[in-house]
Amino acid sequence: MIFQQKTFWKVARTLVVIAIFGSAAFFILSNQRGIRDYFAAQNYKPDPEILKIENKIKPTTNAKTIFYASNPKVEDSEEFNKNCKNREEDSAILGCYKSGEIHLYDVKNSKLDGIKEVTAAHELLHAIWERMSLSERDKIGKLLNAEYERVKDADFEKLMQSYDRTEPGERINELHSLIGTEQLEISKELEEHYAKFFKNRREIAQIYQSYNKNFKDLKNRAESLTAELEKMKPEIEQSTKKYSEDSKELEEDIAEFNNDAKTGKYETQAEFNADRAKLLQRIRNLENSRLKINNLVNSYNSKINEFNEVSVQQNELYKSINSNLNSPSL
């Protein structure tokens, strides 16, 4: 009996040890990525620029680990272009998540303050998406599609068409990053999802809305000026044509009037004065037309100058975010 009790407790202890090691092995196998992230994050030393970005986007503890594990770097144009390839000539990329690392272009335009932070959050969400299970992606993907249908506009649709060309098969992945960092109002379910990664997701979207307003305001003003100029141009052309025709006709009538006066056609002073008054009124009307045309031309030229200035500002903004335009010449 004593022998049997000892044997029982020995077996029990063995089973407990096996269970503990079995649980540990299962935990390690099922959390390999998380463990790798933890140690990679421990070895990462953020520079002041990354710390500034981190303080702005306020990642949760888990998201911070993934951020650090992704070895985020702010790079000049030369280094950035080596790591992030732009697949469309008429667009600019601000960051990329490639081979498990986050690369951010060092945009220096003060009018775009916060653009690096929003880009960092965008790329962090790509890293998070990579770590999500297929069931999680499927669940969140349905919410993202519904949100896209609710908030999409012409610009958003055009952007997604660009992603479909350059990143085929990554539509939901991109929506996950775009909606999470750019949309102020989103569904409760998505807000709860993003709350796992950011302490204040809406603050990131506000930063985006703030600097993106510079692009939108210039774009809207350029479009408004274009519409005004297109409307004014035919009006000026038609008015100028009519002025020329009226001016020529008036010159001919004045010549005829002078000839009639010289040849004694007018039998009374009253007839002479009446025709003369009509011609003087036509001269005044023609002068008013000339002044109106001049005002139209001056206004048109002023709008042309403003349009050119807006174009310069647009080009400066786009140049500051286009790493290809800021690369040193070879």
Residue with the larger pLDDT of the pair 25 and 192: 192
What is the overall mean pLDDT for the chain? 89
For the stretch 241-268, pLDDT in tens is 999 999 999 999 999 999 999 998 988 9
pLDDT > 90 fraction of the chain, expressed in percent and rounded: 80
Mean pLDDT for 34-47 is 92
For the stretch 132-182, pLDDT in tens is 999 999 999 999 999 999 999 999 999 999 889 888 899 999 999 999 999
pLDDT level of residue 292 (50, 70, 90 thresholds) = very high
Assign 3-class secondary structure to the chain: CHHHHHHHHHHHHHHHHHHHHHHHHHHHHHCHHHHHHHHHHHHCCCCHHHHHHHHHHCECHHHHHHHHHCCCEEECHHHHHHHCCCCCCCCCCCEEEECCEEEEECCCCHHHCCHHHHHHHHHHHHHHHHHCCHHHHHHHHHHHHHHHHHHCCHHHHHHHHHHHHHCCCCHHHHHHHHHHHHCCCCCHHHHHHHCCCECCHHHHHHHHHHHHHHHHHHHHHHHHHHHHHHHHHHHHHHHHHHHHHHHHHHHHHHHHHHHHHHCCCCCCHHHHHHHHHHHHHHHHHHHHHHHHHHHHHHHHHHHHHHHHHHHHHHHHHHHHHCHHHHCCCC
For the cut 50, the answer to whether the pLDDT of residue 26 exceeds it is: no
Q: What's the confidence (pLDDT) of residue 195?
A: 98
pLDDT level of residue 325 (50, 70, 90 thresholds) = confident
Q: What's the confidence (pLDDT) of residue 33?
A: 79
Residue with the larger pLDDT of the pair 30 and 36: 36
Q: What's the confidence (pLDDT) of residue 20?
A: 47
For the stretch 68-123, pLDDT in tens is 999 999 999 999 999 998 766 667 899 999 999 999 999 999 999 999 999 999 99
- Write down the pTM of the prediction: 0.80
pLDDT level of residue 12 (50, 70, 90 thresholds) = very low
